[in-house]
Amino acid sequence: MAAAEGDLIVRREGAAGIIRLNRPRAINAMTLEMSLGIDAALGRFEADPEVTVVLLEGAGERGLCAGGDIRGLYESSKEGGDLGKVFWRQEYIMNARIAAFPKPYVAYMDGLVMGGGVGLSAHGRHRIVTERTKLAMPEVGLGFFPDVGGTWLLSRSPGELGAYLGLTGVTMNGPDAVHARFADAVVSTAKWPDLREALTKVRPGTPSSEVARLIDGFATGETAGPVAAQQDKIDAWFAHDNMHDIIAALKQDGSEQAAATLKALNEKSPRGMVVTLTLLRLARGATSLEQCLVREYRAALEVFRSDDFREGVRAAIIDKDRSPKWSPPDIDDVTPAMLAPYLAEIGADELTFPPSK
């Protein structure tokens, strides 16, 4: 039942439909072809009565997925191409499908999990992190914003943690990912082979609640890490609806932690931060993941046309000089007129979702 071992491996092992991202040298960064393959695999496993659970995992030791294929998107943006429009439409529809998948969907979030990797895993029903997990949504550092349903996830983290994580791109460990509601259980890598074997033997018709109990039997029980320990301070700093007030609160605090947070913000795209905070506040009022994905798609198409995206990717990934020249360079220069296109309806290009079966 195994497909050819290219960038994506799809096969059945016992009762489990396996989806393995297979670009270990690129930390399994996802291409458009991989996204299409995952979508096809979900259709196949949903229809197969012998598949009881779906298991997402990444090849290699470095992580589940470092995100989307940013280099390819950068090249297309430079050339005025349409990869962003095609890639993000496919990816966001797939994110919604994962969230609504009718069978237990288990994501093994070991190692690095960033950007598009979060979209593949954190919308799943059963989300397993480990002592090696490093989970982040660092898109603002690329002149972008937390997409793939990131605004939905972040806006449902406790207190102001979502604004903090989305704006700074700070990395969570496994317990912090549970605290932030991006994951459900910490399982040590030493216990994973036994849990994985047990998942391949889950009987047909087993409810999701039983799968959760199975996973909990292997879990460490940890639910909070170093980020969670700062929750009170984070809530005070980020309890504002504009970047000026957040920055003022951090400056007024004056602590070492506040200074480190200010430093992180100062490295990010001013326009990206304003767009991100706006989308996060709108997401608080959303009633579904799909509503957030529609907004994200509108904003993503505007980002794809922007100098900030190309400059952010250039500085971080292409030239690696870590010295982006943002446009505009300061929060004060981000005007309502600049923000408006990121929120505007886009007519025939609006993101729509296939009807539920």
Residues with catalytic roles: 68, 116, 139, 147
Q: Which residues of 246-261 are buried (b: 16+ CB within 10 A; e: fewer)?
A: bbebbeebeeeebeeb
In angstroms, the Cα distances linking 4 to 1, 37, 45, 351 are: 10, 12, 17, 32
Rounded Cα distance, 78 and 310, in Å: 7
**Residue 337 CB-half CA count within 13 A:** 2
> Which long-range contacts does 134-138 make (Cβ < 8 Å, 24+ apart)?
134/63, 134/171, 134/172, 134/173, 135/109, 135/171, 135/172, 135/173, 135/174, 135/176, 135/177, 135/182, 135/183, 136/165, 136/169, 136/170, 136/171, 136/172, 137/165, 137/166, 137/169, 138/114, 138/169
Closest CA to 281 of 181, 166, 155: 155
CB atoms within 10 A of CB 101: 16
Written as six digits, the tokens of 316 are: 């971080």
Measured between alpha carbons, how far is 187 from 346 in angstroms, rounded to an integer?
A: 43
Burial of 226 (C-beta count, 10 Å sphere; 0-12/13-18/19+):
exposed
Residues 177, 154, 234: CA angle, nearest 5 degrees: 80
- The encoded tokens of residue 322 equal 């870590």
